[in-house]
Chains A and B, each alone.
Chain A
Amino acid sequence: MLVGTVGLLRLPDVYNRLHATTKCDTLGAGLVLLSLAVQSTASVAVRLALIIIFIIVTNPTAAHVIARAAYNTGIKPELGRRNTSD
């Protein structure tokens, strides 16, 4: 999650930022919740598993919807090599 947030701050484009943050954040939250689930009772673990499955399903969906909205509103992705003077 730390690497994903650094990517959100440093990368130059909307699509780069989505790419950096979505995977890191989904996996980070899922692993934190999984570590809490393995040391709890069964009913709590079931609820945590529901939250994990929900996050894994919905987070890439939200990123896809944001990327499609950004592309359809005319934001072009940056192509080619990055300017090294930045």
Chain B
Amino acid sequence: MDLKQILDISYELGAVLVMLLIFLSLVRALKGPTAPDRVTAISIIGTKTVVIITLIAWIYDQKYFLDIAMVYALMSFITTVGVAKYLEKGAID
């Protein structure tokens, strides 16, 4: 087993571990007692998804997935700020 196989297996193990952590965060998003709990969990899931997309870019050796990860990070941040503003003011203005 050479180095490339070991690296491939480690990428897949990392992606599966982060996926399990996403499911654990989803538990908090489902049963969180207040709305900011849910927003926190969704924000954390967004950050973990960026890591998963980057690891998938290495697993399939398609480096342009990095652009998708960047756009996903932007979208996750804007979603979080928008929902938090909506919770605070009752409207997005």
Contacts and interface: CB of A to CB of B under 8 A. Distances in A.
Categorize the interface residue count of chain A: 35 or more
Interface residues of B, number: 38
Contacts of A47: 66-67, 70
26 contacts: A4-B44, A5-B21, A8-B24, A8-B41, A9-B27, A17-B28, A17-B37, A25-B44, A26-B47, A29-B48, A29-B50, A32-B51, A51-B69, A54-B74, A59-B43, A61-B81, A62-B80, A62-B84, A65-B84, A66-B40, A66-B43, A66-B80, A69-B36, A69-B84, A70-B36, A72-B88
Interface of A: 1-2, 4-6, 8-9, 14, 17-18, 21, 25-26, 28-29, 32-33, 36, 40, 44, 47-48, 50-51, 54-55, 58-59, 61-63, 65-70, 72-73, 75
